[in-house]
Amino acid sequence: MSIAEVIEKVEVKNPGEPEFHQAVREVLESLEPVINKHPEYAKAKILERIVEPERQIIFRVPWMDDNGDIQVNRGMRIQFNSAIGPYKGGLRFHPSVYPGIIKFLGFEQIFKNALTTLPMGGGKGGSDFDPKGKSDNEVMRFCQSFMSELYRHIGQTTDVPAGDIGVGGREIGYLYGQYRKITNQFDSILTGKAINWGGSLVRPEATGYGTVYFTQEMLKTKGDSMEGKTVLVSGSGNVAQYAVQKANQLGAKCVTLSDSGGSIYDPDGISGEKWDYVMDLKNVQRGRIHEYAEKYGVEYFEGERPWKFEADVALPCATQNEVNEAEAKMMMDNGVIALAEGANMPSIPEAIEVYQDAGILYGPGKAANAGGVATSGLEMCQNHIGMSWTFEETDAHLLRIMVSIHEQASKAAEKYGYPGNYVMGANIAGFIKVADAMLDQGHW
Ligand code: NDP
Ligand code: 2IT
């Protein structure tokens, strides 16, 4: 089957799942030169196999709200590919979750995890549960019910979930508590755990830090750095928060944040006490970003995304398809020279074309945001050896891994005739590692 035929078959077999189609198309369209050079992949039907999840689990999650009413949500875990290690990838709790979203994320995760240099396969899960406006007790009861089914499908050498949108330290705690209650085991079955019960230092920071480390590596190829750069950041959750902190540490100035309500623009930069305020607002008060504008007297743009301001660097850190073609053009006109994706698939395909036509440094999510899952791999490693590393040791591993991902993507892009194209490079390097493992292990 040609690449176009495989894509078409995915569309027919997975109707109504545009995000999954988009992710498959983006990866497979990069692979033409690889498939031409390696007929053994076509012979072993690697493409046809890699687009089909190894296993998909969908389950009922009933829970009781604070009024005593029973609510019912849908839970799922898609175990996509375990050729190079146990399934690994986050859980997303958001009302938009349905199999098409989880498949797109699980598919991306296969190649991202391959780039981390660590032995992790790809998977993803979640629920259409909306944590917004729920009490801690409601979130706990939901997590307990979710884990009461999920526990039988995961394991430290089988599948190790973690956080994603709507799943942070609080949810991982409740999920882990229920796993222990059911199994009587202190297994390494989740990452993103708190530091006092098996978590790793730097895991909370890792995705945001890693995205900025990757940006720094891209800038280095032009003899440039983060120092003095003005940065647009979207989102105000885990990834955005620590992207801002690391950018500040490297001498840049972050001027925007957003949430699903709108964006704030603070031309003086979000640092020091203002950054502490965002951490408290989002992680403790669970408030909205417009409250920042009210507190610091800056502008709030309701219902708008933060891409219209002058800047050198852009870091989309909220969600999929949050940069459209017009916004991408606006960024190019406003001076953006580097864009790295903290979020998964935040740029629509037409936006990516705009970046590539303009020749900016563009780091796609599966390379730029791999620091989160990489540090999850470091957390598993520490759990397995029964030790914990210092912040400095773990951060040094993270930096080394991000440098390696940049190098793998650059080398693969160059080898296959697309120098400087990190989309081609990341897709090709990630794919080859998994495809070779699948070849080695026979056709199943
Ligand atoms: P959080 O839940 O901590 O934060 C998500 C942020 O994005 C919030 O500000 C949220 O606003 C905003 N957001 C979510 N959905 C939408 C939407 N549909 N429209 C507008 N804004 C939205 O999640 P994370 O920071 O963990 O995740 C952010 C992105 O990074 C996701 O794409 C995730 O897949 C990716 N990622 C996360 C990793 C991790 O380790 N956590 C690792 C690698 C990638 P609101 O509160 O209003 O919903
Ligand atoms: O998209 C991602 O890489 C994550 N949400 C992190 C997954 C993980 O297992 O740490």
pLDDT of 444 above 90? no
DSSP H or E stretch at residue 267: none
Predicted local confidence at residue 65, as pLDDT: 98
d(CA 292, CA 409): 38
**DSSP-assigned letters across all residues of 294-344:** HHHT-EEEET--S-SS--SEEE--S-TT-B-HHHHHHHHHTT--EEE-SSS
Ligand 2 surroundings by CB, under 6 angstroms? 88-90, 109, 112, 162, 164, 191, 344, 372-373, 376
Looking at every residue in the chain, the average pLDDT score rounds to 98
Q: How many CB atoms lie within 10 A of CB 302?
A: 9
Over residues 66-103, the pLDDT tens digits come to: 999 999 999 999 999 999 999 999 999 999 999 999 99
Question: Which conformational region is residue 176 in: left (phi greater than 0), alpha (psi within -120 to 50 degrees), or beta?
Answer: alpha
CATH class of 206-363: alpha beta
- Portion of the chain with pLDDT greater than 90, in percent: 100
Q: If you ran DSSP here, which 8-state letter would residue 215 be given?
A: H
Tell me the best of 239, 263, 301, 405 to mutate to test the pocket of ligand 1, counting ligand atoms within 8 Å of each CB and taking the most: 239
Helix (H, G, I), strand (E, B) or coil at 365: helix
Are 412 and 428 in contact, with CB atoms under 8 Å apart? Answer: yes
Question: Which conformational region is residue 202 in: left (phi greater than 0), alpha (psi within -120 to 50 degrees), or beta?
Answer: left
* CATH 3.40.50.720 placement within the chain: 206-363
Q: If you ran DSSP here, which 8-state letter would residue 189 be given?
A: -
* CATH 3.40.50.10860 placement within the chain: 3-188
Q: Is 124 a catalytic site residue?
A: yes
d(CA 8, CA 396): 43
* pLDDT, mean of residues 196-203: 98
Atom of ligand 1 minimally distant from the CA of 96: 18
**Residue burial 88-113, b: 16+ Cβ < 10 Å; e: rest:** bbbbbbbeebbbbbbbbbbbbbbbbb
Question: Which conformational region is residue 338 in: left (phi greater than 0), alpha (psi within -120 to 50 degrees), or beta?
Answer: beta
Q: Whose CA is nearest to atom 3 of ligand 2?
A: 373
Q: Is 286 in the pocket of ligand 1 (CB under 6 A)?
A: no
Task: Report the DSSP beta bridge partners of residue 55.
Answer: 79
Task: Give whole-number Cα distances, 429 to 82, 139, 163, 356, 374, in Å.
Answer: 17, 39, 25, 19, 16
Over residues 51-64, the pLDDT tens digits come to: 999 999 999 999 99
Task: Report the DSSP beta bridge partners of residue 164.
Answer: 167
**DSSP-assigned letters across all residues of 117-185:** TS--EEEEEEES---TT--HHHHHHHHHHHHHHHGGG-BTTTEEEE-BTTBSHHHHHHHHHHHHHHH--
* pLDDT, mean of residues 217-224: 98
Q: Domain 3-188 maps to which CATH number in 3.40.80.10, 3.30.200.20, 3.20.20.70, 3.40.50.10860?
A: 3.40.50.10860
* pLDDT, mean of residues 39-60: 98
